[in-house]
Amino acid sequence: MKAKRIEGGTARGNDDLELQLSSLLDGEVDDATCRSLLERLRRDGEAGRNWELLNCVGDAMRSSDVASWHRPGFVLKVAAALEQEPTVLAPAALPRVGLRRWMLPGAGVAAAAAVLLAVGLPRLQSGAPVEVASTAPASLQVRAAAPAGQPEIERSPVLERYLAAHRELADPTVMPFSTPYVRTSGAILTQESR
């Protein structure tokens, strides 16, 4: 489970300190290191602020909107409280969020929220698309064929060709990127049949 355990020794340089603090937050340091870090947090204001920042980063990363309401003043207040009493920072009392992974570029979100969504998709009433009569002579009749068994898109090689081409350049800005691909996953790709 643990990637590695940080063994004792004093922190050298800010990078080392940050790594050790995030290990502390993960509960991944041995007792001696824990004690020396807590001592350092008590004495060293900079280290204390780092510690608070790490906690904030963890929260901010877990929920991307947290950052938007992050208030430095609040952090300072907590930092002040914590500097008074560093022992409340015992790692066991903190949620184990694997913060260290947050700190590394490219590391994924470690706080995993595994859930099962029971999605009750209501049966849609408008099952078959509406037939549309077109009167313009040069235009094409748009009409829904709806025999069961096969997805509609697959039944229309002409339409799916355009859909595949449309999908390539249609950027959904609010919807997730995949939306057009999920929508037309069965469409023959433009070049496929060339």
Scan residues 2-41 and list those touching other proteins (CB under 8 A).
Answer: none
Regarding 91 and contact with other proteins (CB under 8 A), the answer is no
Q: Does 1 bind other proteins (CB under 8 A)?
A: no
The one segment of 8-16, 19-27, 36-44, 105-113 that binds other proteins by CB under 8 A: 105-113
Dihedral sign for Cα 63, 55, 68, 15, please. Answer: negative
Residues numbered 117 to 156 that lie near other proteins (CB under 8 A) are 117-119, 121-122, 124-130, 132, 134, 136, 138-146, 148, 151-156
Query: Which of 4, 31, 69, 92 touches other proteins (CB under 8 A)?
Result: 69
Whether residue 54 contacts residue 25, with contact meaning beta carbons closer than 8 Å, is answered with yes
Question: Is the Cβ of residue 12 or residue 114 nearer to other proteins in the bound state?
Answer: 114
66 binds other proteins (CB under 8 A): yes
Angstrom distance (rounded) from CA 41 to CA 48: 5
| Rounded distance between C-alpha atoms, residue 83 and residue 86, angstroms | 6
Closer residue to other proteins (CB): 12 or 64: 64
Residue 132: strand, helix, or coil: strand
In whole angstroms, give the CA distance from residue 192 to residue 100: 45
User: Chain-centre distance of CA 90, in angstroms?
Assistant: 28
